[in-house]
């Protein structure tokens, strides 16, 4: 009898690395691989080559990708990475290339919406219908659910590119002459608070900076400014922070204190006040 497909393939397309896996969930990963994100042809080819031996067992492939991406199924460029600053990756057909090579249905969304969906099903957002997931790493991206549905729209949320109060010439506690690294906006949230921003400003990668370094209160301030804007706009039940920068666990209490100070008691919810 023909084999009944029972597994799913997954591709997390990151700007630094691709992670590919086969399984039914986090407790049943039957194969997994990580490799660096190089050129589109080489990187997508490696992902296809990894999944190809499992093709007969696969129901479908899910892809969550760095962006911006085209999520409109009616668009001629649906499944593309579009105007990304990642060199060589602008206008790259990712979902279509995988689907054609494997002849399988492909689900496609942003990397942060993919992470949010995983948190909703298995992780820190179980039981919630309105929450945000932000990754703070090579870039800053945000996604999540509102009313139980993943966030989409005209394109998709770009929470990393919200504009923040920035004090390049002041003398106060948050004075910061750094111009930011975002090639589009300079000192947006992504321009000021990513891993590359920390390295460009302080001359060292974040993991090399001690916990009492002045970089961290400033980092917490910028992240808290972003979170407060999102709290007031979307009223999430929870915000989940991930990504490489958030491996610095001492950031969490700094961010929470800054969020409470910036909100100044206006949002009266125990999740924020306690």
Contact 98, 40 (CB under 8 A): no
Name the stretches of the chain with pLDDT < 70.
Answer: 1-4
CB atoms within 10 A of CB 206: 24
**Are the CB atoms for 32 and 4 separated by under 8 Å?**
no
What pLDDT does 6 receive?
Answer: 87
Per-residue model confidence (pLDDT) at position 122 = 94
């Amino acid at each position: 009898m023909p084999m009944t497909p029972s597994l799913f393939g997954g591709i997390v397309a990151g700007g630094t690395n691709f992670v590919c896996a086969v399984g039914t969930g986090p407790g049943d990963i039957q194969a997994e691989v990580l490799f660096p994100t190089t050129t589109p042809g080489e990187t997508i080819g490696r992902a296809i080559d990894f999944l190809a031996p499992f093709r007969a067992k696969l129901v479908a492939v899910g892809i969550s990708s760095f962006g911006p991406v085209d999520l409109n199924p009616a668009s001629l460029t649906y499944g593309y990475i579009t105007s990304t600053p990642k060199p060589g990756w602008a206008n790259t057909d990712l979902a279509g290339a995988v689907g054609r090579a494997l002849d399988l249905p492909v689900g496609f969304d942003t990397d942060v919406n993919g992470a949010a969906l995983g948190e909703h099903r298995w992780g820190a957002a179980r039981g919630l219908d309105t929450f945000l997931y932000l990754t703070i790493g090579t870039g800053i991206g945000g996604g999540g659910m509102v009313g139980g549905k993943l966030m989409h729209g005209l394109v998709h949320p770009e929470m990393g590119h919200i504009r923040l109060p920035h004090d390049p010439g002041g003398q106060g506690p948050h004075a910061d002459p750094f111009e930011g690294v975002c090639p589009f906006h300079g000192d947006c949230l992504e321009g000021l608070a990513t891993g590359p921003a920390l390295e460009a400003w302080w001359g060292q990668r974040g993991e090399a900076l001690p916990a009492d370094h002045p970089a961290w209160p400033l980092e917490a301030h910028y992240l808290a400014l972003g979170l407060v804007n999102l709290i007031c706009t979307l009223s999430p039940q929870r915000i989940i922070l991930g990504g490489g920068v958030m491996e610095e666990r001492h950031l969490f209490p700094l961010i929470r204190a800054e969020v409470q100070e910036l909100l100044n008691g206006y949002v009266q919810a125990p999740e924020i006040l306690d």
